[in-house]
Amino acid sequence: MKDFIIPWNDADMGTPAKTGAPVTLTVDGAAVTVPEGTSVMRAAYEAGITVPKLCATDSVEAFGSCRLCVVEIEGRRGTPASCTTPVVEGMVVRTQSAKVQKIRKGVMELYISDHPLDCLTCSANGDCELQDMAGAVGLRDVRYEPGENHFDPTGTGALSMADAKRREGDGNFRYIPKDESNPYFTYDPSKCIVCSRCVRACEEVQGTFALTIEGRGFESRVSAGGAVDDFLTSDCVSCGACVQACPTATLQEKSVAELGTPTRSVVTTCAYCGVGCSFKAEMNGDQLVRMVPYKNGKANRGHSCVKGRFAYGYAEHKDRILSPMIRESIDDPWQEVSWDEAIGFAAKRLKSLQKDYGRRSVGVITSSRCTNEETYLVQKLARGVFMNNNTDTCARVCHSPTGYGLGQTFGTSAGTQDFDSVEQTNVVIVIGANPTDGHPVFASRLKKRLRAGAELIVIDPRRIDLVKSAHVEAAHHLPLRPGTNVAVVTALSHVIVTEGLMDEDFIRERCDWNEFLEYADFVSQERHSPEATEMLTGVPAETLRAAARTFARGGNGAIYYGLGVTEHSQGSTTVMGIANLAMLTGNIGRPGVGVNPLRGQNNVQGSCDMGSFPHELPGYRHVKLPEVRKTFEAAWGVTIDPEPGLRIPNMLDAAVDGTFKGLYCQGEDILQSDPDTKHVAAGLAAMECVIVHDLFLNETANYAHVFLPGSSFLEKDGTFTNAERRINMVRRVMAPKAGYADWEVTQLLAQAMGADWEYAHPREIMAEIAATTPTFAGVTYERINELGSIQWPCNDDAPEGTPLMHVDEFKRGKGRFMITEYVATDEKTGPRFPLLLTTGRILSQYNVGAQTRRTANSTWHEEDVLEIHPHDAEVRGVKEGDFVKLASRSGETALRATLTDRVSTGVVYTTFHHPDTQANVITTDFSDWATNCPEYKVTAVQVSPSNGPTDWQERYNAQAEQSRRILPAAE
């Protein structure tokens, strides 16, 4: 076997990579060939030569301000800056000479004269480019007297803080103390060298434009927001790009200041959202010092957001439960016990339930938070040990319609592109998604493309940030009424078909022509025109027509969508409508186009791939198919039930009916995240054995009989699959705090129930997945390590994976147009409930908030608030910040209101990150027709002034408190 090299090298090459025709030049006598447009600095690096630099870094375009990187070029006068000089064929470069050495030394001397000499006690000691460069250029002396400076608070000429402490002086008016307002990093102006790398990173990488350089010359410094702002009050979203770019300790993680510089690093994958960013977990021993985005990560390309970058503290939080616990009844306090006892208790209960109530009386819920290997084992537990198909995943409540809709039209249940594809797109539709909050790193990549000229169409009831933010503005915003997605998408197709804007060649070649004709006939009907649907959807006909034309004529068109599409009673129909739109315009099968679901949680894609759904074995193959069952029956040595199992809502219904009695729930909090909380609570309360396997005593655990402590993503090996179908490695950086990784716990339970499982490492589980699932046939840990990551399908036909799907033909053969008739949801407004509630998430918090609430991210979002239009607020006597009662036919809750015209009149909006809010007490049991994905995004509600929490909230909290009591272990 050939040796493989993991591309661990993530050194800074000074300026960004370019693509272009090859150019050959000589650097210090060595010939090197690089793409046209590359800087001399980067070319030198390619030739193995590092040129000193301060203001350049390869995440942002060169700026040429420090002049440390000067070189000599044959035939050119003077000493050009290598970072801003592009290569030319035949160029001869010298990076070292007496002349450039002298210039560099002079530059460094000036920098150091206005820099404190606190190196030994500086938090960046050993990790500071200014230090490195002082060494590299041979700076041995500073001839300047300590005159005016920014670092000596006493104004007495102290060279370091330590020195200043001993002196008294009248104060240095140029000195500015540290800005500690951000919970995760500090800004220490006294150490700033004004290289502007942070400013450029905030603009180019993140796209927030929060930073500027204020003042000129000696007065200039970095400023966040306006004159009176600090980092926290500015527009800063705490993505960390500036911290990453800063060469000094000026912008520095507080964790490094506290814990010291890390000594080793392990590349792993963020466990928050479906973007699946790669990170380096930087460690001291087994202590995590910081997470830094990994440059070679193909999903994030070196960028991050506040969650993955900083919000990992929950893994060490005191609320984590580290001992297994059991109790006879949910009215009892918890009893800490050994692993053996807890597993034995659980296995015995489950077995006796199956004996008394039948084989199908128990089931599992797999997690979109856990690894592929863990998910695979949990569904295997249901199928191979419980001997039924009662397995479901929380993807049920988010992206199950994506699976169904794309499966029907294209033949695969997944997005068609990789994230890099956005760099080649010309017009983007974002529908029912709020990427700047939900998928921040993707949003940054999208915004970068928009700033470069791509057009944007936003279809969302709310004026999300993308509609208008710094240097980005949507060409069209279609502010539809919640629940009318299908009508809007069909109207877009109406315009495209009736105005003859479709891509007929593509349709003839790639799709079923007869089905297209039927579809064209359907959408052309006058009742689907924007004019006819305007009253219903609230979208002005002209805006909709303009958007359709932009999309159809704009070149490469890509559609990105989120839960605002799927979480409706017609979720699956909208997904089909989106697929129709892509086929109609020929936007499938090449870079820059496609249909791209933005997945909520880190491993939604993976948990679906791994056979979590009750009707599908791994790889989306129905359990009714004998040949598929045979594969698994041979591998597992069991007989698989050919009948579909219960989906989550069905499990709860069956529990209330008394036929479903036991549940093993891994890494999910269905009580908080699923709709109609009262119904979920009733279902859980009716069960006789609820096993919760989680990091924390979550809300579901209030109804549990067994609690098995989970392991965080830092404590186990495995893989996550992101929204691009990219299988990323999760690497263990510390031992599981509770003793076992999650896959081991599932295995213990299976063994206790009689299974002969003997997995020694997750790698063996992946081998079984590859052996049984054709789309994963070529996936092994070795292969992932070698390639960095792999996008499935990966098999003999595509040994390196598949970045783009459906290139020459659709997975199912011909693309299939589906008729998408709009059907109004039964959830209608009326006199009692005149407003429509829709829900979403915000940047700093994540889903039910179990993790992010246990970090300093709560600085940005302490509670869920209700957004309401000022007009709707006024007629109800509601003022900014008032406590209001939010009621629907399911229940009522209370929270604070904020007045904003981001939402239209008639629509209110809230997030669901905090258990106190109980937004799901309000949501109803209506669901998608095909998949039972709940209709979170539309609930008819009424809002009225209130003076505090509702009775339900108080009763709920009392029950929760009662239920969380823990008795210490009996010795």
CA pair distance 409, 696, nearest whole angstrom? 40
In whole angstroms, how close is the CB of 22 to ligand FES at the nearest point? 24
Interface residue with ligand FES among 83, 199, 325, 680 (CB under 6 A) is 83
DSSP 464-485: -GGGEETTEE-SEEE-PPTT-H
Report which residue type is found at 272.
Answer: Y
Kindly provide the residue ranges of all beta strands, DSSP E only, lying in 171-258, ordered along the sequence. 185-187, 211-214, 221-224, 251-253
In whole angstroms, how close is the CB of 838 to other proteins at the nearest point? 20
Q: Which is nearer to ligand FES, 64 or 260 (CB)?
A: 64
In whole angstroms, how close is the CB of 448 to other proteins at the nearest point? 39
| Interacting residue ranges for other proteins, rule: CB under 8 A | 360, 389-390, 515, 518, 569, 573, 614-615, 622, 624, 643-647, 650, 653-654, 656-657, 659, 818-819, 821, 823, 826, 925-927, 929-932
Number of CB atoms found within 10 A of residue 812's CB: 15
Q: Which is nearer to ligand FES, 64 or 106 (CB)?
A: 64
625 close to 633: Cβ distance less than 8 angstroms: no
Pick left, alpha or beta for residue 552 (phi over 0 → left; psi -120 to 50 → alpha; otherwise beta). alpha
CA pair distance 574, 311, nearest whole angstrom? 34
Q: Judged by CB under 6 A, does residue 193 bind ligand SF4?
A: yes
CA pair distance 551, 499, nearest whole angstrom? 13
Q: Which does 823 bind (CB under 5 to 8 A by kind): other proteins, ligand FES, ligand SF4, none?
A: other proteins
In whole angstroms, how close is the CB of 831 to ligand SF4 at the nearest point? 42
CA-nearest of 499, 483, 493, 669 to 584 is 493
Q: Judged by CB under 6 A, does residue 200 bind ligand SF4?
A: no
Interacting positions 784-823 with ligand SF4 (CB under 6 A): none
Q: Which stretch binds ligand SF4 (CB under 6 A): 242-250, 363-371, 472-480, 770-778?
A: 242-250
What's the start-to-end Cα distance of the chain, in Å?
54
Q: Which does 305 bind (CB under 5 to 8 A by kind): ligand SF4, ligand FES, other proteins, none?
A: ligand SF4
Q: Which is nearer to other proteins, 97 or 514 (CB)?
A: 514
Task: State the burial class of residue 960 (Cβ atoms within 10 Å of its Cβ: 0-12, 13-18, 19+).
Answer: middle
CA pair distance 130, 33, nearest whole angstrom? 30
Q: Which is nearer to ligand SF4, 104 or 439 (CB)?
A: 439
Alpha helices in 538-594 (DSSP H): 541-553, 563-566, 571-584
In whole angstroms, how close is the CB of 305 to ligand SF4 at the nearest point? 3
Q: Which is nearer to other proteins, 484 or 927 (CB)?
A: 927
Q: Judged by CB under 6 A, does residue 434 bind ligand SF4?
A: no
900 close to 878: Cβ distance less than 8 angstroms: no
Interface residue with ligand SF4 among 41, 69, 73, 202 (CB under 6 A) is 202
Q: Tell me, residue by residue from 513 to 542, as one string, x for binding to ligand SF4 by CB under 6 A and - for no binding.
A: ------------------------------
Give me the residue whose beta carbon is nearest to ligand SF4.
Answer: 308
Pick left, alpha or beta for residue 876 (phi over 0 → left; psi -120 to 50 → alpha; otherwise beta). alpha
Q: Judged by CB under 6 A, does residue 108 bind ligand FES?
A: no
Q: How far, CA to CA in Å, does 233 sit from each of 643, 844, 859, 860?
A: 56, 15, 11, 10
In whole angstroms, how close is the CB of 440 to ligand SF4 at the nearest point? 5
CA pair distance 895, 868, nearest whole angstrom? 12
371 Cβ contact list (under 8 Å, min separation 6): 603, 606, 716, 717, 718, 719, 720, 730, 742, 743, 762
Q: Judged by CB under 6 A, does residue 66 bind ligand FES?
A: yes
Q: Judged by CB under 6 A, does residue 105 bind ligand FES?
A: no
In whole angstroms, how close is the CB of 393 to other proteins at the nearest point? 15
Q: Which does 64 bind (CB under 5 to 8 A by kind): ligand SF4, ligand FES, other proteins, none?
A: ligand FES
* Residue 326 backbone phi and psi in degrees, to 5: -140, 165
Q: Which is nearer to ligand FES, 129 or 373 (CB)?
A: 129
Q: Judged by CB under 6 A, does residue 378 bind ligand FES?
A: no
Q: Judged by CB under 6 A, does residue 600 bind ligand SF4?
A: no
Q: Which does 222 bind (CB under 5 to 8 A by kind): other proteins, ligand SF4, ligand FES, none?
A: ligand SF4
In whole angstroms, how close is the CB of 496 to other proteins at the nearest point? 20
CA pair distance 273, 597, nearest whole angstrom? 13
Q: Judged by CB under 6 A, does residue 104 bind ligand FES?
A: no
CA pair distance 857, 861, nearest whole angstrom? 7
Q: Which stretch binds ligand SF4 (CB under 6 A): 67-75, 85-93, 236-244, 316-324?
A: 236-244
Q: How far, CA to CA in Å, does 324 sit from each of 22, 200, 411, 706?
A: 61, 49, 43, 8
Q: Tell me, residue by residue from 26 to 65, as one string, x for binding to ligand FES by CB under 6 A and - for no binding.
A: ---------------------------xxxx-------xx
Q: Which does 644 bind (CB under 5 to 8 A by kind): ligand FES, other proteins, ligand SF4, none?
A: other proteins
Q: Which is nearer to ligand SF4, 151 or 272 (CB)?
A: 272
Strands 468-469 and 391-393: unpaired
Q: Residue written as tokens 């997005």?
A: 415
377 close to 765: Cβ distance less than 8 angstroms: yes
Interface residue with ligand SF4 among 41, 164, 246, 794 (CB under 6 A) is 246
CA pair distance 178, 627, nearest whole angstrom? 66
The whole-angstrom distance between residue 490's C-alpha and the CA centroid of its chain comes to 29
Q: Judged by CB under 6 A, does residue 81 bind ligand FES?
A: yes
Q: Which does 54 bind (CB under 5 to 8 A by kind): ligand FES, other proteins, ligand SF4, none?
A: ligand FES
Q: Which is nearer to ligand FES, 99 or 463 (CB)?
A: 99
Q: Judged by CB under 6 A, does residue 350 bind ligand FES?
A: no
Q: Which does 360 bind (CB under 5 to 8 A by kind): other proteins, ligand SF4, ligand FES, none?
A: other proteins
Structure tokens given for 133: 């460069």
Q: Which does 394 bind (CB under 5 to 8 A by kind): ligand FES, other proteins, ligand SF4, none?
A: none
Interface residue with ligand FES among 68, 205, 777, 835 (CB under 6 A) is 68
Q: Which is nearer to ligand SF4, 439 or 494 (CB)?
A: 439
428 close to 558: Cβ distance less than 8 angstroms: yes
576 Cβ contact list (under 8 Å, min separation 6): 405, 408, 409, 818, 820
Q: Tell me, residue by residue from 278 to 317, as one string, x for binding to ligand SF4 by CB under 6 A and - for no binding.
A: ----------------------x---xx-xx---------
314 close to 851: Cβ distance less than 8 angstroms: yes
Q: How far, CA to CA in Å, does 454 sit from each of 313, 429, 807, 888?
A: 38, 11, 23, 41
The whole-angstrom distance between residue 592's C-alpha and the CA centroid of its chain comes to 21
In whole angstroms, how close is the CB of 217 to ligand FES at the nearest point? 17
Q: Which is nearer to ligand FES, 73 or 565 (CB)?
A: 73
Chain residues in the site for ligand SF4 (CB under 6 A): 192-198, 201-202, 206, 208, 210-211, 222, 224, 236-242, 245-248, 250-251, 270, 272-273, 275-277, 300, 304-305, 307-308, 439-441
Chain residues in the site for ligand FES (CB under 6 A): 53-56, 64-69, 81, 83
